Amino acid sequence: MRVIAQGISKDYFRQRRDSNVFTALFPTDMTVSEGEIAAVMGRSGSGKSTLLNILAGLLSPTAGKVTYDDADIFAMSDDERSVFRNKHIGVIPQVHTGLHSLNVRQNIMLPYDMYGEKCPDERIDELLEKLGLMTLADVYPDELSGGEMRRLSIARALVRRPDVILADEPTGDLDGDNTRIAMELLAQAAGNGACVLFVTHDDEAAAYAHKVYRMSQGRIE
Ligand SMILES: Nc1ncnc2c1ncn2[C@@H]1O[C@H](COP(=O)(O)OP(=O)(O)OP(=O)(O)O)[C@@H](O)[C@H]1O
Ligand SMILES: [Mg+2]
């Protein structure tokens, strides 16, 4: 599956003295192809998460369109887009989003459970094992450290072997060993044909990318 963004931009409205429109993303074109790993780097506030959230269909662009092969994700209804995302896209969000009422194992199974499907036990066990979460499988998110929570998000995004992986600072709170484990998992997914785009501030993580985009003040340089 190929992700193509054409002329996507984002204006936010906020109260300011001069103007109340703030352009977080100027019109941007981008393509991520099968098997490709792309990294987006840049200072805080440069628009990286805005770009990633638009690619993921989580945030509507002010202008432009995003297609996954022939599917225009913003031409879909919200429900259609949610189903599409669940089926094709693994998102690792910048902020932690574990459901508090579910334990680690149940959180990882969520992309299957949400639609009444059964998650293969071997797949969860494989991810719990690789990400060092096996002993925490029955623990609830409130009891996890930041890095453990991050690893939970990675497992949940990968569990369905999505065609496209969009990861916002996937190694943000991980130590060196876990950074390598997480990046190896993303590289392995790309090796199996997934498109991977991730945001990072970490040179070690960026070294896994085939292509590095640098963002500054809402533009890719
Ligand atoms: N909902 C919003 N309303 C108004 N402004 C916003 C909103 N969300 C983001 N912004 C602004 O848009 C700019 C880009 O934000 P974005 O989250 O994309 O940055 P980022 O590059 O991901 O930064 P970081 O590295 O800190 O995560 C920032 O200046 C931010 O303050
Ligand atoms: Mg961000």
Domains of the chain, by residue range, sit at 32-58+77-220
> Measured between alpha carbons, how far is 90 from 167 in angstroms, rounded to an integer?
8
Q: Residue 17: pLDDT above 80?
A: no
Q: Residue 19: pLDDT above 80?
A: no
Ligand 2 center to 125 CA (angstroms): 30
Looking at all shown ligands, the one closest to residue 12's CA atom is 1
> Measured between alpha carbons, how far is 31 from 25 in angstroms, rounded to an integer?
16
pLDDT at 103: 97
Average pLDDT (171-193) is: 95
pLDDT at 20: 86
Ligand 1 center to 202 CA (angstroms): 19
DSSP output for the chain: --EEEEEEEEEEE---SS-SEEEEEEEEEEEE-TT-EEEEEE-TTSSHHHHHHHHTTSS--SEEEEEETTEEGGGS-HHHHHHHHHHHEEEE-SS----TTS-HHHHHHHHHHTTTPPPPHHHHHHHHHHTT-GGGTT--GGG--HHHHHHHHHHHHHTT--SEEEEESTTTT--HHHHHHHHHHHHHHHHTT-EEEEE-S-HHHHTT-SEEEEEETTEE-
Ligand 1 center to 51 CA (angstroms): 10
Q: Residue 18: pLDDT above 80?
A: no
pLDDT tens digits along 98-141: 899 999 999 999 999 988 999 999 999 999 999 999 999 999 99
Nearest protein CA to atom 7 of ligand 1, as residue: 12
pLDDT at 15: 74
pLDDT tens digits along 184-201: 999 999 999 999 999 999
Closest ligand 1 atom to 25 CA: 14
Q: Which CATH number fits domain 32-58+77-220: 3.40.50.720, 3.40.140.10, 3.50.30.10, 3.40.50.300?
A: 3.40.50.300
Q: How would you classify the pairing of strands 3-13 and 63-68? A: antiparallel
pLDDT tens digits along 66-92: 999 999 999 999 999 999 999 999 999
